[in-house]
């Protein structure tokens, strides 16, 4: 089902670009407008910080004034309970999915990377909330997943699964969710670059075989393979920027871990009541 969605989006773009190729000027105008759209619209969507919105609308307070001060799922769960945490996570994931799909439609996988990155930036630095947002872990996870699903060679989210496994092992071993997030995102550029170069090599081989045999690739494969080494390099640069930004946003967590003051995640134990649950006597 997911593959079919990306196939439909890709084919629509492929034939639209063929029509525009007869008018190069319009092609560049639309390309430029698409790049701007992939930056501005996802940033604005990322700025819809569900932790801040939910805490203000439902509880009448700002989540940034409680707990760690972070406008994210973990602080929402600790402060207002599991339900608030789940709603926040769902909202952050949804806005990132929409942003990446917009990017795919406008500029293909390149657009998904751009849109996903700027959605994450909007989440971290929302203009509406004085540029003080969340740490972008959930957004980053969805960006990794969505760009994985759009790979022209691997029809399985390989990098996402590897990074999630690393995250799970570290969290279970150390009980630090923040450390798991930091290590997983630090490994992201390494695995992304490795698999992107592997995919580029596989595409080059298939194109060479097609030329040698005289059998043209189908339109969808032509669209998928119309990337260059420059595109692959851009994907790697974006992955590095994502890693740097997420690690930067966890600087306070790293300081607390060094001082052994960072809260630990306890699997299997009953969660502590949130401060609002305690006030209500539940």
Could you give the CA distance from residue 125 to residue 47 in angstroms, rounded to a whole number? 7
Q: What is the pLDDT of residue 219?
A: 53
Q: What is the pLDDT of residue 21?
A: 56
167-176 own/partner pairs: CB under 8 Å, 24+ apart: 171/265, 172/267, 175/264, 175/265, 175/266, 175/267, 176/257, 176/262, 176/264, 176/265
State whether residue 112 is helix, strand or coil.
Answer: helix
Q: What is the pLDDT of residue 250?
A: 92
Could you give the CA distance from residue 166 to residue 80 in angstroms, rounded to a whole number? 29
Domain ranges across the chain = 2-265
The tens digit of pLDDT for each residue in 203-250 reads 666 666 666 676 655 555 555 555 555 677 788 899 999 999 999 999
How many other C-beta atoms can be found within 10 angstroms of the C-beta atom of residue 133?
27
Q: What is the pLDDT of residue 110?
A: 85
Could you give the CA distance from residue 191 to residue 197 in angstroms, rounded to a whole number? 10
| First CA to last CA distance, the chain | 43
79-82 own/partner pairs: CB under 8 Å, 24+ apart: 79/55, 79/274, 79/275, 79/276, 80/54, 80/55, 80/274, 80/276, 81/273, 81/274, 81/276, 81/277, 82/271
Could you give the CA distance from residue 157 to residue 84 in angstroms, rounded to a whole number? 28
Helix or strand (DSSP H, E) at 255: helix 251-258
Could you give the CA distance from residue 177 to residue 131 in angstroms, rounded to a whole number? 24
- For tokens 């959930």, what's the residue? 138
Q: Is residue 20 a contact partner of residue 26, using CB atoms and an 8 Å limit?
A: yes
In tens digits, what is the pLDDT along the chain, a chain of 282 residues? 544 555 555 555 555 655 555 556 766 777 788 899 999 999 999 999 999 999 998 888 988 888 778 888 888 888 888 888 899 999 999 999 999 999 988 888 888 999 999 999 999 999 988 888 889 999 999 999 998 887 665 667 889 999 999 999 999 998 888 999 999 999 999 998 888 777 667 666 666 666 667 665 555 555 555 555 567 778 889 999 999 999 999 998 899 899 988 877 765 444 445 555 544 443
């Amino acid at each position: 089902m997911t593959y079919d969605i990306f196939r439909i989006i890709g084919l629509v773009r492929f034939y639209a670009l063929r029509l525009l190729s007869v008018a190069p000027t319009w092609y560049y105008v639309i390309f430029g407008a698409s790049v701007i759209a992939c930056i501005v619209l996802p940033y604005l969507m990322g700025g819809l910080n569900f932790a801040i919105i939910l805490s203000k609308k439902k509880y009448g307070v700002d989540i940034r004034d409680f707990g760690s001060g972070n406008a994210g799922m973990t602080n929402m769960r600790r402060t207002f309970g599991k339900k608030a945490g789940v709603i926040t996570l769902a909202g952050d994931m949804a806005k990132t999915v929409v942003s990446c799909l917009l990017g795919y439609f406008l500029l293909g996988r390149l657009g998904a990377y751009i849109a996903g990155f700027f959605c994450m930036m909007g989440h971290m630095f929302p203009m509406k909330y004085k540029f003080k947002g969340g740490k972008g872990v959930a957004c980053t996870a969805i960006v990794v997943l969505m760009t994985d699903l759009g790979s022209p060679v691997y029809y399985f989210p390989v990098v996402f699964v590897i990074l999630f496994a690393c995250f799970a092992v570290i969290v279970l071993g150390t009980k630090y969710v923040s450390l798991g997030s930091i290590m997983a995102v630090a490994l992201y550029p390494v695995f992304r670059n490795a698999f992107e170069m592997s995919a580029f090599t596989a595409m080059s081989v298939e194109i060479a075989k097609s030329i040698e045999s005289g059998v043209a690739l189908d339109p969808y494969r032509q669209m998928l393979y119309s990337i260059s080494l420059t595109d692959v390099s851009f994907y790697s640069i974006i992955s590095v920027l994502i890693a740097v930004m997420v690690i930067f946003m966890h600087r306070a967590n790293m300081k607390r871990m060094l001082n052994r003051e960072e809260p630990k995640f306890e699997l299997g134990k009953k969660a502590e009541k949130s401060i609002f649950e305690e006030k209500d006597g539940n």
